[in-house]
Structure 1
Amino acid sequence: LQAVFLGAIALGVGIFASQGIAYVIGSTRSFLDFTAQSDIRVLLTRTSLRFGVFAVIVVIVAQVIPSIGAARHTIISYKAERARTLRPPWWQRAWLDVLLLIPAGYGAYLLRQQGSIAVGQAGISGGPFDNPLLFLVPALVTLALTLFLLRILPKFMAGLAWLAGRLNGIGFLLASRYLSRDPSFYTAPLVLLILTLSLSIFTASLAVTLDRHLHDQSYYRIGADARLAELGVFSEGDGAGSGPFGAAFGEGGATEEDTSTIPESRWVFIPVSEHLRIDGIEGAARVGDYDARMQVGDGWLDAYFIGIDRIDFPKASYWRRDFAPASLGALMNSLALNPNGILLPRQFMADNSIRVGDSVQVQVSTFSYGADMSMTVVGEIDYFPTWYEEEDGPLIVGNLDYLFEEFGGQVPYDVWVRTAPGIDYNQMVRDLGTLDLRVVDWRATRPVIVAEQEQPSRQGLFGVLSVGFLAAALLTVLGFLLYALFSFRRRFIELGTLRAIGLSPGQMTAFLAWELLFLIMLGVVVGTLLGVLVS
């Protein structure tokens, strides 16, 4: 009856508290970050009530089972067992902690076989949020190792007590002996502390990894804070030439009759520096991507040419140190010293026996313009923003101005811009229109990141983990407070006896302080190590 009464109270309070918790989960941006704008409407459904009633029934059963086990005791046997643990708990007798290490180890093996938690470039959504092993295995590993630690902990404390017996200090000796003899009394708060710390470290590490991956993936796909597709003014000439390559891009290769011709029509563009007149734009660079072909050996390969403005590109683009063996500044200097210089992927160069300094024949065609150029390899890269080898093929990075010179005129390109935080991109595009800069399409990285962070699957996961951590932390603190209180009350006569045989108040205080310090430090150290291990 007592359990039923407590369950009814918990269900009534939980109905109202759960609505607030659901709203908090809906406002979750990342782990312990509740700053997302949320207009979620929380509704109480019959399904929710059924789950609540089921949870209450489980808790009632969990409360009643220990009472059934206690019914076999007499008052004498009960007092004897409370005074000192006579046998290990049932899960140690059944070797449950050791058995749990088997599925935990197998799950860790499966995660290692999968490799990375990062999702592929084909899309940002999904990935780790669809993989339950990513969250179940660390929890199982932590639980199994924690239970196994409790098996060997009394022996460790006994060794510590043996060492303390050879040192001066009554409090340290009494605390270590007590913890080695009565592990059942501090098991619950210690397990709570270890699990809370280890899982919170893992969750925080996971959140940082996923947030950083989302940031890097979004910036890599777009290339900068924003990418603007602009059109200049196209002026028709008297006689536009025909397509520049003809068969050069077909199977037969180039012929004399298919040599490049320069149309008399021209594209006219406003200088890219005009973008800097708009409030919130801090950097702008021209970047053009065009279809190309490259001669390798006796054949031609389809390639992807990205032309950049070497001066402005570092001011606006997204770049990471591991994108190339050399720094971005060194790569730009190499392009500056060689107007016809190009950068090629390092693996592609190794596969085709190409070295820095070699000349490569490159053909680029777009908008009825074409160029057949002999270009010099001046550097190597591993990655480049917006380039995916599986989709685009081999990459060629060169000087955009040199390409335009070979074309005999400019062709449309994108403008990558670096913007101030909090900028309104729609207003930015309207302001650019007042300068006769025609933006036909645009993409910005920060709105993409915010939209992904507000995906229900992501919010739900990190919301549950955040609320669970806060609840576990509260229970851990409460558990240690109750442990200290009930431990003192249970050992009131014991402590009085120690005081009567001559222990000073300072020694008594040291005894209790060492006991709590042992438990807290052990929980913090083990929880931190396990959290780092599973991360």
Structure 2
Amino acid sequence: GQGGQGQGQGGQGQPGAPGSGNEPPPKLRYIEPPFEVFRELEGVEHAARVLTAKSNVVVSGKSLGQGMLMGIDNVDFAHVGWFRKDLFPIHQNLYLNLLGQYEQAVIIPTSFAEKHHIKPGDLMNITVSGQPVEFVVVAAVPYWPSQYPDEMPFFIANLEYVYDQAPITPYDVWLKMKDGAKVAPLLESLAAKNVDIATVKDVRNELITQKKHPARGGVFGILSLGFLVSVFVSLIGYILYWFFNLSSRVVQFGVLRAMGLSRRQLTGMLLLEQAFTAGLAIALGFGIGKLTSYLFLPFLQTAENVKTQVPPFRVIFDSRDTGQLYVVVGVMMLTGAALLFLHIRRLRVHQAVKLGEEK
């Protein structure tokens, strides 16, 4: 969840208040409530202050337009922010450590650095609440949590340094919640402690809403139904194949048993046969399926999604779905093995040999 905080103001009158005349509106002065309150809330694992503000960017006296300044406390953000490991050349904490080592440090997007030929060590001025603040570029990263570099470049800096140079402005509070923890009790606790919350955004509710979207449910329903039908047909075909295969080889099994092959050896032979035929086919099916997914699933993106999707599209295999597939395949193999055991136990050697003599 997120909540903006900041309360109190300077001056006597409100803008446009009766009797204010043509006097300029008083400048707002924000007072920061104690942040420890958020860490002590029930159900909260970690909390972090995150300031986001549109700012003008100047490098070497040249204005480079607007960007989104994000002020953070690096240690808190390391516990709360979610990073995808394959998006960064090195571990994300090494970038956060740079913020801790240099007070004036700023991390910029890779695309912005390449476009304007900015490298680590360059100076940069970013306007915060009308106050120009000087920063030193320490690193460039392709992506950052909650930021979209294609829409607007981001600049990650130390929150305390920003507040040392510019007036305090309301910031967001990012909370890492424990499993099953609710947001409503937090708001009641904060209200009891006289901490006003401007807005609340619960990502978990958004995820639930997206999962219940009709289009998503329809696509997943069709895929699940197709999977169940194909599994059912494959299972029936597998069972029928083994049933008729074993029935047609009764004479062969009888002769082998009469020649001295034990029941255990005959069972092992058939299990190996099953593993080399069905097992090889199943292994090839898994391999070809994964390869096909990697090759063709990226084509499901539309032209617009390719440009705006952050982080970029990737193919993932959910461990839960993969586990269900393994269970289904295991049931199929066990069914075949059970049929095999039953058939061998019911096999009467003398009848099979006699049947062979009649033929």
Q: Does 1:452 align with 2:227?
A: no
Aligned mates of 1:515, 1:333 — CA distance in 2: 58
Q: Which of 141, 145, 154 pairs up with 1:381?
A: 141
Kindly tell me: are residues 511 and 355 of structure 1, through their superposed partners in 2, closer, same or farther at Cα, counting changes over 3 Å? closer
Q: Does 1:431 align with 2:195?
A: no
Match of 1:244 in 2: none
Aligned mates of 2:42, 2:78 — CA distance in 1: 20
Q: Which deviates the most, 322-331 or 276-285?
A: 322-331
Q: Which of 249, 252, 255 pairs up with 1:495?
A: 252
Q: Does 1:229 align with 2:7?
A: no
1:229 is aligned with what amino acid? G
Q: Which of 41, 46, 64 pairs up with 1:278?
A: 41
Equivalent residues of 2:60, 2:124 under 8 A apart: no
* Local SS of the residue matching 2:155: strand
Aligned mates of 1:473, 1:236 — CA distance in 2: 70
2:291 is aligned with what amino acid? L
Kindly tell me: are residues 505 and 482 of structure 1, through their superposed partners in 2, closer, same or farther at Cα, counting changes over 3 Å? farther
Offset, 1:417: 0.9
* Local SS of the residue matching 1:339: coil
Q: Which deviates the most, 314-323 or 279-288?
A: 314-323
Aligned mates of 1:520, 1:276 — CA distance in 2: 56
Unaligned 5+ segments in structure 2 are: 15-25, 294-359
Q: Which of 295, 303, 315 pairs up with 2:58?
A: 295
Match of 1:394 in 2: 153
Kindly tell me: are residues 310 and 519 of structure 1, through their superposed partners in 2, closer, same or farther at Cα, counting changes over 3 Å? closer
Instruction: Say what the alpha-carbon RMSD is for the aligned residues.
Output: 2.9
* Local SS of the residue matching 1:439: coil
2:62 is aligned with what amino acid? G
Equivalent residues of 2:7, 2:196 under 8 A apart: no
Match of 2:180 in 1: 422
Equivalent residues of 1:227, 1:414 under 8 A apart: yes
% of aligned pairs identical? 27
Offset, 1:484: 2.5
2:255 is aligned with what amino acid? R
Match of 1:26 in 2: none
1:499 is aligned with what amino acid? V
Match of 1:196 in 2: none
How many residues align? The count is 279
Aligned mates of 2:91, 2:193 — CA distance in 1: 35
Residues 515-526 of structure 1 mapped to structure 2, 5 A cutoff: 515-526=273-284
2:34 is aligned with what amino acid? P
Q: Which of 224, 236, 245 pairs up with 1:466?
A: 224
Match of 1:360 in 2: 124
Q: Which deviates the most, 266-275 or 293-302?
A: 293-302
Aligned mates of 2:132, 2:219 — CA distance in 1: 53
Aligned mates of 1:442, 1:236 — CA distance in 2: 26
Equivalent residues of 1:228, 1:441 under 8 A apart: yes
Equivalent residues of 1:499, 1:508 under 8 A apart: no
Aligned mates of 1:286, 1:510 — CA distance in 2: 65
Equivalent residues of 1:341, 1:375 under 8 A apart: yes
Offset, 1:509: 5.8
Aligned mates of 1:426, 1:460 — CA distance in 2: 32
Kindly tell me: are residues 519 and 265 of structure 1, through their superposed partners in 2, closer, same or farther at Cα, counting changes over 3 Å? closer
Kindly tell me: are residues 329 and 486 of structure 1, through their superposed partners in 2, closer, same or farther at Cα, counting changes over 3 Å? closer
Aligned mates of 2:245, 2:11 — CA distance in 1: 95
Kindly tell me: are residues 476 and 504 of structure 1, through their superposed partners in 2, closer, same or farther at Cα, counting changes over 3 Å? farther
Offset, 1:503: 4.5
Offset, 1:322: 4.2
* Local SS of the residue matching 2:103: coil
Aligned mates of 1:292, 1:271 — CA distance in 2: 26
Deviation sequence 1:243-281 (CA, Å, 0-9, x none): xxxxxxxxxxxxxxxxxxxx7642112122111221001
Q: Does 1:529 align with 2:303?
A: no
Q: Which deviates the most, 457-466 or 505-514?
A: 505-514
Match of 2:350 in 1: none
Offset, 1:422: 0.7
* Local SS of the residue matching 1:462: helix
Match of 2:319 in 1: none
Offset, 1:360: 1.5
Aligned mates of 2:143, 2:267 — CA distance in 1: 62
Deviation sequence 1:475-512 (CA, Å, 0-9, x none): 433333322222343455x538x729975454866775
Unaligned 5+ segments in structure 1 are: 1-225, 241-262
Equivalent residues of 1:324, 1:380 under 8 A apart: no
Kindly tell me: are residues 477 and 411 of structure 1, through their superposed partners in 2, closer, same or farther at Cα, counting changes over 3 Å? same
- The structure in which a higher percent of residues are helix is 1
Kindly tell me: are residues 433 and 238 of structure 1, through their superposed partners in 2, closer, same or farther at Cα, counting changes over 3 Å? closer
Kindly tell me: are residues 239 and 463 of structure 1, through their superposed partners in 2, closer, same or farther at Cα, counting changes over 3 Å? closer
Kindly tell me: are residues 488 and 277 of structure 1, through their superposed partners in 2, closer, same or farther at Cα, counting changes over 3 Å? closer
Residues 159-174 of structure 1 mapped to structure 2, 5 A cutoff: none
Aligned mates of 2:38, 2:31 — CA distance in 1: 16
Kindly tell me: are residues 514 and 332 of structure 1, through their superposed partners in 2, closer, same or farther at Cα, counting changes over 3 Å? closer
1:414 is aligned with what amino acid? D
Residues 314-329 of structure 1 mapped to structure 2, 5 A cutoff: 314-329=78-93
* Local SS of the residue matching 2:56: strand
Offset, 1:236: 1.9
Aligned mates of 1:430, 1:464 — CA distance in 2: 43
Q: Does 1:405 align with 2:164?
A: yes
Aligned mates of 1:361, 1:512 — CA distance in 2: 76
Specify which structure has the bigger relative contact order, considering alpha-carbon pairs within 8 angstroms and separated by 6 or more residues.
1
* Local SS of the residue matching 1:531: helix
Q: Which of 345, 355, 359 pairs up with 2:109?
A: 345
2:126 is aligned with what amino acid? V
Match of 2:344 in 1: none
Offset, 1:402: 1.7
Q: Does 1:486 align with 2:261?
A: no
Kindly tell me: are residues 334 and 514 of structure 1, through their superposed partners in 2, closer, same or farther at Cα, counting changes over 3 Å? closer
Kindly tell me: are residues 511 and 295 of structure 1, through their superposed partners in 2, closer, same or farther at Cα, counting changes over 3 Å? closer
Q: Which deviates the most, 505-514 or 420-429?
A: 505-514
Equivalent residues of 1:323, 1:384 under 8 A apart: no
Equivalent residues of 1:239, 1:264 under 8 A apart: no
Aligned mates of 1:236, 1:312 — CA distance in 2: 30
